[in-house]
Amino acid sequence: MHFVLNASFAGFLLLAACTTVGPDYQKPSNNLPNAFKNANWPSVPTIGDPYRLFHDRQLNTLLTTAEKNNRDLSAALARIDQSRAQLGIARTDRSVGIGADLASTQQLQSGNSRFPEPGGPFRQYDARLTLNYEVDLWGRVRRGVAQAEANLTAIESDYQAAVLSLKGEVARNYLTLRSLDRETTLLEKTQDLRRKRLELTQSQKTAGTASGLDVARAETEYESARAEVARIEQRRGELENSLATLTGQTASSFQIARKNLPVHLPRIPAGVPSELLRRRPDIIAAERRLAASNEGVGISIANFLPRLTLSGATGIETLNSNEIFNPQSRFYSAGPSLFLPIFQGGRAKADRAQAEAQFREALANYRQTLLLAIQDTENALLGNRKLDQALQAQTKATEASAQSADLVQVRYQGGLDSLFEVTETERQTLEQERLLAQTELARQLATVNLIQALGGEVRPAK
């Protein structure tokens, strides 16, 4: 009969250990379209560093330095280590807990106690080894491990999203800085030209061939160009300081030399939405948090079901140190204990309601992340396409304005136009050239936005 009871109990444990309460996780359908409406490319972006398509070594160096030294990324890596430790803690619940206890205590019992110990004070020696193991009756431990694994993947994806965001910020600041360098070059040339014209006009006024109004206009244009150069230099300095912080360096010792570099406009094909889902780290993180919250529902149910623990202890206990190795000093105990939560004042219901609400929140966040991802990509694709058109038109406008300025200059030298017409056409030409530089920058920034929208280069966290 004793064998039959043991076999039955073991069969019950085996059956119970295979039971998991709560809903099984199923990844929600996304109901996304098959293609982006603003994309004309059916191909999928290749894995790699898309920022190299800008053909700028200094940009690549800044991106590498930022990924290595940025303090926000260091904090994100620390969060990954914390999550890995949490996973390790969750996994220990699947193992047998072993502990040791050594004690040597001096005791004196009260003479008025029910069972007084004769002989005055005495010393007791105690050495024991304990073992505890929770039988995972309802899958609480298994779900806890699965939840920790999902949270770890989510936090690793958060790190990848942080890298993607950081690189985008570095690229935007750097490309804007280089665009300001081009504008500064234009303004300095204009400033030099207007200074010479001011000097010439002042000489002409002295000779009586120009009026005071001509001098005032020439001086206005010259000082206006100087003021604009100063404003651009201030903005450039702020971008330089921002790049210092993004790359983990002090702004006081960080400098980027001025260069008038050629403009490269990368062409990046976009994949279909299903490919986007595979690559974007924020979507991966949102989906894994949804999975973790689903495990939380099962855990909330299992927490208020009977919990079975197998425990045992063995060791020695004696009042005399000479009898520590005496076989009669040995003891042991072993057996199961079953905890039954009978009344919790509605705690079980409230805990489950909270877990289910957390799941609904995670589901809404996941779906919103999908919608925002599609919006980001459509906006970036639209920006690339429309800014290509704007760039073509602005290039023609700049060329036409330059031709107009040349013709007015010839007419001025022939006495057919006044200095006012010359100054006005030069101002318009400068404005068109700056608009061209700004449109080129906008097109580059749209490419950066597209790189981010498509997930960039996705790599595992270090």
For residue 384, give the nearest of 67, 36, 126, 128 by alpha carbon. Answer: 36
CB neighbourhood size of 149 (10 A) = 19
Residue 198's H or E segment, with its range, is helix 140-207
User: Which pLDDT score, from 0 to 100, does residue 91 have?
Assistant: 85
Q: What is the pLDDT of residues 92-123, one digit of tens each?
A: 888 888 888 888 777 766 666 666 666 667 67
User: Which pLDDT score, from 0 to 100, does residue 359 have?
Assistant: 95
For residue 196, give the nearest of 230, 222, 229 by alpha carbon. Answer: 222
Structure tokens, 29: 């359908």
Q: State mean pLDDT over 160-164.
A: 92
Contact 12, 336 (CB under 8 A): no
In three-state secondary structure terms, 29 is coil
Q: What is the pLDDT of residues 223-250, one digit of tens each?
A: 998 999 999 999 999 999 999 999 999 9
Q: State mean pLDDT over 258-281.
A: 77
- CA distances, 306 to each of 97, 208, 221, 296, 310 (Å): 20, 107, 86, 18, 13
Interatomic CA distance for residues 88 and 235, integer angstroms = 49
Produce one character per residue of 390-400: b if its CB has 16 or more CB atoms within 10 Å, e if not: bbeebeebbee
Higher-confidence position of 317 and 238: 238
Interatomic CA distance for residues 97 and 54, integer angstroms = 57
What is the 3-class SS of 224-279, one letter each residue? Answer: HHHHHHHHHHHHHHHHHHHHHHHCCCCHHHCCCCCCCCCCCCCCCCCCCHHHHHHH
Residue 298 has pLDDT above 90, yes or no: yes
In three-state secondary structure terms, 137 is coil
Maximum average pLDDT range among 108-112, 347-351, 358-362, 381-385: 358-362
User: Which pLDDT score, from 0 to 100, does residue 8 have?
Assistant: 55
Q: State mean pLDDT over 120-144.
A: 83
User: Which pLDDT score, from 0 to 100, does residue 326 have?
Assistant: 79
Residue 462 has pLDDT above 50, yes or no: no
Residue 321 has pLDDT above 80, yes or no: no
User: Which pLDDT score, from 0 to 100, does residue 125 have?
Assistant: 74
Q: Give 126's DSSP letter.
A: E
- CA distances, 219 to each of 167, 196, 222, 287 (Å): 44, 10, 5, 63
Of the pLDDT bands very low, low, confident and very high (cuts 50, 70, 90), residue 49 is confident
Q: Lowest mean pLDDT: which of 232-246, 313-327, 341-355, 364-378? A: 313-327
Residue 288 has pLDDT above 90, yes or no: yes
Bridge partners (DSSP) of residue 135 are: 308
For residue 75, give the nearest of 162, 136, 7 by alpha carbon. Answer: 162
Interatomic CA distance for residues 186 and 181, integer angstroms = 9
Backbone torsions φ then ψ of 229, nearest 5 degrees: -60, -45
Q: What is the pLDDT of residues 167-200, one digit of tens each?
A: 999 999 999 999 999 999 989 988 888 888 888 8
**Predicted TM-score of the model (pTM):** 0.82
Residue 30 has pLDDT above 90, yes or no: no
Q: What is the pLDDT of residues 53-86, one digit of tens each?
A: 899 999 999 999 999 999 999 998 899 999 989 8
Q: Which residues contact 75 (CB under 8 A, 6 or more apart)?
A: none
Share of the chain above pLDDT 90, in %: 38
User: Which pLDDT score, from 0 to 100, does residue 135 have?
Assistant: 87
Of the pLDDT bands very low, low, confident and very high (cuts 50, 70, 90), residue 339 is confident
User: Which pLDDT score, from 0 to 100, does residue 93 have?
Assistant: 81
User: Which pLDDT score, from 0 to 100, does residue 341 have?
Assistant: 82
- Domains of the chain, earliest start first: 20-107+121-453 (1.20.1600.10)
Q: Is 113 left (phi over 0), alpha (psi -120 to 50) or beta?
A: beta
In three-state secondary structure terms, 101 is strand
Contact 222, 200 (CB under 8 A): no
Which residue, chain included where needed, has tokens 């920058």? 441
